[in-house]
Amino acid sequence: MPKFSPLRIISWMALLVAALGIVAQPAMAADAKKPRVVVAVFTKDTARQDLLMRNLQNLHKDRPQATIEVVAFGPGLSLMTRKVDGSDNSMSKSVAALSEAGVKFLACGHTMRAMKISKDDLLPNVGVVPSGIVHVVDRQQEGWAYFAP
């Protein structure tokens, strides 16, 4: 039998692929310690937004390696605008602090068009996704958790 018979090469390839399959599972389990979560906010109610922000602060403190994205829809966009009903946004400091800690704040582009909110109306560090619902659904289909206080 020659040293590099097709049979031997095939067997080694099969073993390699099988081994990769085994290695991939502990890798996924390890990811559980690096959780990824997409958070949706639908309400202008500041008590509810406050509950959300305290939860995010706790999550970031307890799981500093977590990947967190917050997506605002409809009235929930008030969490991320500079002005709310003509006054400065009372949540701006906590949004800034969490942004600096790595949390991504994202406004729904469809909502911005519907409510005539421009990029300049948003707090600094707030990003835009073309469609909030598409983003939230895609993230979950990629394996992210969902949270919506």
Note the residues at the interface with its own copies (CB under 8 A): 1, 7-8, 10-15, 17-19, 21-22, 31-32, 35-37, 40, 42, 47-48, 51, 54-56, 58-59, 62-63, 66, 73-75, 110, 114, 130-134, 136-138, 140-143, 145-149
Residue (122 or 136) nearer to its own copies, CB: 136
CB-based contact 46:90 (threshold 8 Å): yes
Enter the tokens of residue 70.
């917050």
Burial of 17 (0-12, 13-18, 19+ CB in 10 A): exposed
Place of tokens 């729904």: 108
Q: Which amino acid is at 56?
A: L
Give the separation between CA 44 and CA 48, rounded to whole angstroms. 8
The H or E element spanning position 49 is helix 46-62
Residue (96 or 115) nearer to its own copies, CB: 115
Cβ-count burial 100-126 (b if 16+ within 10 Å, e if not)? eeebbbbbbbbbbeeeebeeebbbeeb
